[in-house]
């Protein structure tokens, strides 16, 4: 018999208690708010919260780490309802290995065993909930992740557009920076780029950005920024490169070549913007796309079009300038890797034998290098010819697009579709 939903019914409450997990894992990159979410859960259920950094539990004394865990759980039970939050959980409960005999590793094993004992000793009437946060879920001991322990693992990813906008609005109010809706929209778009260490913007980065703005306001003795002053401040946050006119032309043609190949394969809807403005990273220009998620598989045509798009910049430079720049390094690496995977793992080369040429570690078996290398070259050369033919047929449009890119610096989707016209 199903149990009807009734929050006052004892049978229903008992049923819910039976299926509540003992613990959950929040995982994701640093600065995305994993610990903040854990605190939010404790606050929502009006529970005592214990936030423990992994290294705090460790000790140089034998048995002291396990004793620290026992004391922590005893205290949590005494003050229930309570939430224990293990920050940097992978330092408390790393995967155990059978071959480890040094003291530090054996101590770590003992702490994992003690934690498993405490988790298995939970009774549903003991209102203690355990949360672990980690940047490396793959480093956790598998025994902790089985059902009945930390059976829920929830990813806290980098914030997307709407998330960043909400976070910026929150810090705008908190720090009283008086940014307008238009300023917030601009910052939301601006923070789509990569940060200094090639990481995406997190909540911590956004907080730091608004705090930087607040310091700027104080130094300038301003309450808020007008549009001109806002743009001045924003430029101070951007690492720029001084390019010569000739360098700009090369970059514009390169990015135009990539974009034209999106046009060829009717994939312009994927393009978010094309720019020759350097971001906060060392990238001099880019075609920014909406990444398609939840791909179950790729067809051979999908992979071939990805290679063609990667080669678009290289070929465009060759057509217009009869030589290429060093800016094609990443593109060539990407195209080569895709072609290699097609031959080695997916049976998409010109060989008649339907087999996988990788080793047990998923790498190219060197025994077959002489066989598969010509097949990789054949795919790249064939697709390169397709790209050359297409860009030569549309050379005037390629040049027109590059000229507009130099003029406007950045083109949005509407501007891109307007100049490239009907897709073919």
- Kindly list the catalytic residues: 255
Strands 48-53 and 271-275: unpaired
Strands 48-53 and 128-134: unpaired
* Contacts within 8 Å (CB) and 24+ apart, 99-102: none
Neighbouring C-beta atoms of residue 421, cutoff 10 Å: 9
What gap in Å lies between CA 257 and CA 253, rounded to an integer? 6
What gap in Å lies between CA 126 and CA 187, rounded to an integer? 46
Q: What is the DSSP annotation of 32-96?
A: SSHHHHHHHHHHHTT-EEEEEEHHHH--SSTTHHHHHHHHHHHHHHHT-SEEEEEETGGGTSBPP
Q: Max CA-CA distance within the chain?
A: 80
Q: List 140's β-bridge partners, or say none.
A: 94
Asked if residues 253 and 400 have their Cβ atoms less than 8 Å apart, the reply is no
What gap in Å lies between CA 325 and CA 337, rounded to an integer? 20
- Please give the helix or strand (H or E) that residue 408 lies within, else none: helix 395-408
The three-state secondary structure class of 274 is strand
What gap in Å lies between CA 324 and CA 314, rounded to an integer? 6
Closest CA to 127 of 13, 36, 35: 13
Which letter, b or e, does each residue of 64-89 get, where b requires 16 or more Cβ atoms within 10 Å of its Cβ? ebbebbeebbeebbeeeebbbbbbbb
What gap in Å lies between CA 165 and CA 203, rounded to an integer? 10
Q: What is the 3-state secondary structure (H, E, C) of 1-20?
A: CCCCCCCCCHHHHHHHHHHC
């Amino acid at each position: 018999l199903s149990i009807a939903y009734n929050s006052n019914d004892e049978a229903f409450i008992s049923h819910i208690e039976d299926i509540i997990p003992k613990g959950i894992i929040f995982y994701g990159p640093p600065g995305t708010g994993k610990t903040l979410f854990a605190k939010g859960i404790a606050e929502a259920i009006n529970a005592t919260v214990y936030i423990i950094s992994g290294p705090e539990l460790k000790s140089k004394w034998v048995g002291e780490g396990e004793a620290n865990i026992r004391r922590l759980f005893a205290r949590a039970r005494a003050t229930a309802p309570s939430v224990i939050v293990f920050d940097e959980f992978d330092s408390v409960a790393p995967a155990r290995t059978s071959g480890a005999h040094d003291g530090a590793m054996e101590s770590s094993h003992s702490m994992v065993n003690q934690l498993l004992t405490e988790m298995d000793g939970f009774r549903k009437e003991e209102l203690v909930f355990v949360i672990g946060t980690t940047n490396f879920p793959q480093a956790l001991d598998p025994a902790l992740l089985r059902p009945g322990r930390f059976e829920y693992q929830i990813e806290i990813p980098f914030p997307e557009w709407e998330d960043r906008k909400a976070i910026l609005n929150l810090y705008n109010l908190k720090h009283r920076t008086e940014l307008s809706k238009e300023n917030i929209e601009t910052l939301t778009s601006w923070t789509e780029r990569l940060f200094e260490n090639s990481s995406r913007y997190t909540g911590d980065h956004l907080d730091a950005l608004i705090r930087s703005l607040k310091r700027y306001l104080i130094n300038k003795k301003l309450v808020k920024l007008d549009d001109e002053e806002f743009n001045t401040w924003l430029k101070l946050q951007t690492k720029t490169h001084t390019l010569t006119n000739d360098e700009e032309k090369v970059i514009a043609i390169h990015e135009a070549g990539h974009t034209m190949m999106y046009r060829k394969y009717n994939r312009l809807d994927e393009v978010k913007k094309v720019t020759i403005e350097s971001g906060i990273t060392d990238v001099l220009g880019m075609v920014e796309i909406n990444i398609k998620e939840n791909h179950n598989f790729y067809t051979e045509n999908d992979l071939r079009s990805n290679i063609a798009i990667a080669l678009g910049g290289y070929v465009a430079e060759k057509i217009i300038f009869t030589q290429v720049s060093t800016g094609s390094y990443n593109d060539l690496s990407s195209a080569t890797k895709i072609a290699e995977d097609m031959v080695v793992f997916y049976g998409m080369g010109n060989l008649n034998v339907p087999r996988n040429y990788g080793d047990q570690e998923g790498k190219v078996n060197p025994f077959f290098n002489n066989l598969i290398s010509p097949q990789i070259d054949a795919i790249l050369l064939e697709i390169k010819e397709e790209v050359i033919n297409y860009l030569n047929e549309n050379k005037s449009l390629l040049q027109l697009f590059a000229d507009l890119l130099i003029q406007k610096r950045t083109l949005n989707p509407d501007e891109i579709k307007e100049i490239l016209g009907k897709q073919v």
